[in-house]
Structure 1
């Protein structure tokens, strides 16, 4: 059987299958495309690569009409976080729901029947046609890429298939058209193939994720890969001279010394029964980090267990400006998750991993095509300058009267989200229990 792999954050997907039939049509050369608008990149011909990580100008407001789809995406975010937390014993968690959904939505173009239904269920996309999902994904990707000239963001997709294979033209064209996917046939027996794929990943993540493929399985049919990269400077930056050593209480109750960044300014904040929220903007205010600090007596696990799309939307809507003294530790995390083992099956996606029952006939006319692996790798680093994730906003200061300044001290486990504010789309979400 041949296999299909998928990698996200980076997310990559590996397809495997049986014997090839003789009735396949060759993949046509891509049709000429019109000159792209700012922030977009045309699809590439096989054998070429284009770096979609860039500084985007000018500022163009993100306007997406599909509010319900965004709400479902955010529901998917918290369901995915719960599933990941359930199946990892690591203290820190960091995932990109955007990357996971982009890679699986590319694959959805080749799925049919119950296989496609289960993929939509896992992605919380039930009720949407593949055409609707494709159109939304293109609109979202292009909107995010042009949202902020002061923030670097890259969203890149690629398909790598065995050079002797014949892949269906509609599958390739859909992914070129809606996901700007780079498509390339490779000699999977060549010793250079691993370096070629990993080199693409390194370029798309500013070398934060340098390896996604260790070796190519001889039964591999295709790799589908998504990479999301984000680098934003705080609108109001922390001064390094104000950073000082403080104590952070780990998730297990033990303590450690950390470098705690220190800043007094006006931020949007809110409070619920379970946690306090603090929003810190990047660049021109298009992107932000929202920190969720559990209340005394509550844990990050309590927050994860109860948080959903509606509670998140209510919290964001209730954010109000206050003068805040922020104490936030520098932190860095690198994570990897085999999502095919338990995470995606727990979310309703089982049939696509079954070599006997999966229906990925939209990719190629081969026997037994199925998803073999879904690997998710991520990186995040937060310091005085801002945030870099493989996943500079200006805060308007307003007077708050003579009341005492509220202190927001992040000295215990917390959750954080990196999002685009006008759409509400979550790019990354993480849990930090140890620095």
Structure 2
């Protein structure tokens, strides 16, 4: 059955590629420009898993929104899933089953997950020479302890993880881990560990960094002060960018959406603006793996685009309510089974997720770090006129790899 799904997925992907390359002009048009070297579609051994990953993305987004009262939400599902998949490699029994269910990976073996993660990571890193992207993993364990060889070898091989012993009793140890995070995120996430508790055994950390230049940048001369209607009903002055040009555009019953591409077109940002009478909560509630695939089918339209410059930073404790609420409970409990990591009984004591994003006339910079702390247990319609797309109220946006639809970052902006 898995093999048939894989063949069907490849057939659908091939059909999509053929359709996307129908004409030379369409192939080379990216936001109204001709790309010297158009991006090549990413081909994965299990292309259907992208939809499963995106289903986890939308579940996580809704769970985070449910447990925060902040106007802005911004996460990197890629960072969270990669950190948790490294951890999953050492889980067993109910602990592993719950983690796979929450991650939408129940139909895959650990070998499938590891191989897919490796191919996706390598493909994303080389997808666009014009876009800076980094995906790094590391494991830090208490000096003097021993990790199972199979666990460390798998994380080195499939996740490119650095595995290092560290003297957790030293007051300098948090700085060692934080300096690694700062390097991987170009100093955008300078700290992930405040202190190392006395019972800490292991940290599994993922860092994702993205910096892309718009395929067609905004002219700063067209940026003007404008009003943005905040989620709480009040208004604020923002710097509103403007550009009229050719964009991929679509609409459904909940939102209108537009895609702006970066660099050679491998990556793009999709901005989702709620329809009149709808809210960003309605947009997030409607998102699913199938809905996202439908939304990827956009048409080229002439659009008058107004988009505010914005920047936001977020921090989440995923171990408190969010992941347990998604069904991942055993991993945090005394019943946790991580016997594949070490001989000593372990449980997950914290999952901290920090993010950063800034959108300007030239492009987008985004970063994320996810830290898993483990401790020893005590015991569309054709338009004759340009489409007006004025982002002057709360919106949802996602940064994705365009050929697969794989989402790297996703968020809701309720205030600037």
State the TM bucket, normalised to the shorter chain. 0.7 to 0.9
In the alignment, structure 1 residue 129 sits paired with structure 2 residue 106 = no
Mark the CA change 1:306 to 1:190 in structure 2 (over 3 Å): closer, same or farther.
same
How far does residue 403 in structure 1 lie from its aligned partner after superposition?
2.3
> 336, 340, 344: which is aligned to 1:362?
340
- Aligned with residue 366 of structure 2, among 389, 392, 397: 389
Give the equivalent residue in structure 1 for 2:325. Answer: 346
In the alignment, structure 2 segments of 5+ residues that lack a partner are 1-36, 369-380
Higher relative contact order at CA 8 Å, sep ≥6: structure 1 or structure 2? 1
CA contact (8 A) 1:265 1:325 kept: yes
Report 1:152-171 matches (<5 A): 152-171=132-151
Q: Indicate conservation of the 8 Å contact 1:379/1:390, yes or no.
A: yes
1:101 match: secondary structure? helix
Is 1:433 matched with 2:414? Answer: yes
Aligned to 1:47: none
Give 4+ residue runs of structure 1 displaced > 2 Å after superposition: 57-61, 400-403
Q: In the alignment, which of 267, 271, 275 is matched to residue 295 of structure 1?
A: 275
Equivalent residue of 1:390, what SS?
A: strand
Q: Deviations over 1:239-265 (max 9, x none)?
A: 111100111000011001100001011
Does 2:286 match 1:327? no
Rounded Cα–Cα distance in structure 2 between residues aligned with 1:119 and 1:260: 42
Q: Are positions 1:63 and 2:40 aligned together?
A: no
How far the C-alpha of 1:306 sits from its partner, in A, is 2.0
Residue 127 of structure 1 and its aligned partner are, at CA, apart by: 1.5
Shift of 1:67: 2.2
The 3 A distance-change label for structure 1 pair 139 and 401 is closer
- Residue 118 of structure 2 corresponds to which residue in structure 1? 138
Indicate the SS of the match to 2:63.
helix
- Kindly report which structure 2 residues correspond to 1:7-22, keeping only aligned pairs within 5 A, or say none: none
Secondary structure of the corresponding residue to residue 312 of structure 1: helix
Counterpart CA distance in 1 for 2:138 and 2:182 is: 13
1:402 Cα deviation (Å)? 9.1
Query: Equivalents in 1 of 2:116, 2:187: separation in Å?
Result: 29
Query: Please, what TM-score do these two structures have when normalized by structure 2?
Result: 0.87
Equivalent residue of 1:231, what SS? strand
Question: CA offset at residue 61 of structure 1?
Answer: 4.2
Alpha-carbon deviation of 1:404? 1.6
Q: How does 1:99-248 map to 2 (within 5 A)?
A: 99-248=79-228
Q: Give the whole-Å Cα distance in 1 for the aligned partners of 2:158 and 2:293.
A: 28
Distance in 1 of aligned mates of 2:92 and 2:342: 12
* Structure 1 segments unaligned to the other structure (5+ residues): 1-56, 392-399
Contact 1:415/1:430, CA 8 A, preserved across alignment: yes
- The 8 Å contact of residues 301 and 383 in structure 2, kept in 1 or not, is answered as no
1-structure distance, mates of 2:138, 2:99: 20
How many residue pairs get matched? 368
Aligned to 2:385: 404
Q: What is the DSSP-based 3-state SS (H/G/I as helix, E as strand, rest coil) of the residue aligned with 1:335?
A: strand
Higher helix fraction (1 or 2)? 2
Cα separation, 1, equivalents of 2:389 and 2:41: 30
Contact 1:108–1:116 under 8 Å retained in 2: yes
Matched, 1:309 2:289: yes
RMSD across aligned positions (CA): 1.5
Contact 1:58–1:148, Cα closer than 8 Å, also in 2: no
